[in-house]
A and B are shown apart, each in its own frame.
Chain A
Amino acid sequence: DQQVKQNSPSLSVQEGRISILNCDYTNSMFDYFLWYKKYPAEGPTFLISISSIKDKNEDGRFTVFLNKSAKHLSLHIVPSQPGDSAVYFCAASRGGSYIPTFGRGTSLIVHP
Chain B
Amino acid sequence: GAGVSQTPSNKVTEKGKYVELRCDPISGHTALYWYRQSLGQGPEFLIYFQGTGAADDSGLPNDRFFAVRPEGSVSTLKIQRTERGDSAVYLCASSPLLSTGELFFGEGSRLTVL
Binary flags per residue of A28-66, CB closer than 8 Å to B gives 1, else 0: 000110100000011111100101000000000000000
- Residues of A close to B33: CB separation below 8 A: 99
Q: In the complex, how many residues of chain A place their beta carbon closer than 8 angstroms to a beta carbon of chain B?
A: 27
- Taking a contact as CB atoms under 8 Å apart, the answer to whether B45 and A49 are in contact is no
What class of interface size applies to chain B in its complex with A?
20 to 34
- Taking a contact as CB atoms under 8 Å apart, the answer to whether B55 and A103 are in contact is no
Contacts A43-B108, A105-B42 known; A97 to B100 CB distance under 8 Å? Answer: no
Contacts A43-B93, A89-B42, A105-B42 known; A100 to B103 CB distance under 8 Å? Answer: yes
Asked if A101 lies at the interface with its beta carbon under 8 angstroms from chain B, I say: yes
- Taking a contact as CB atoms under 8 Å apart, the answer to whether A97 and B41 are in contact is no
- Taking a contact as CB atoms under 8 Å apart, the answer to whether B44 and A43 are in contact is no
- Taking a contact as CB atoms under 8 Å apart, the answer to whether A32 and B91 are in contact is no
Asked if B4 lies at the interface with its beta carbon under 8 angstroms from chain A, I say: yes
Asked if B101 lies at the interface with its beta carbon under 8 angstroms from chain A, I say: yes
CB nearest neighbor in B for A93: B101
**What is the minimal beta-carbon distance from B31 to any residue of chain A, in angstroms?**
8
- Residues of A close to B40: CB separation below 8 A: 9, 104
CB nearest neighbor in B for A6: B42
- Residues of B close to A25: CB separation below 8 A: none
Contacts A99-B33, A99-B56, A104-B40 known; A93 to B45 CB distance under 8 Å? Answer: no
CA distance in complex: A99, B59 (Å): 11
- Taking a contact as CB atoms under 8 Å apart, the answer to whether A45 and B105 are in contact is yes
What are the nearest 5 A-B pairs in CB distance? Answer: A43-B105, A93-B101, A102-B42, A100-B101, A32-B100
Q: Which A residues form the contact surface with B (CB < 8 A)?
A: 4, 6, 9, 31-32, 34, 41-46, 49, 51, 89, 91-93, 97-105
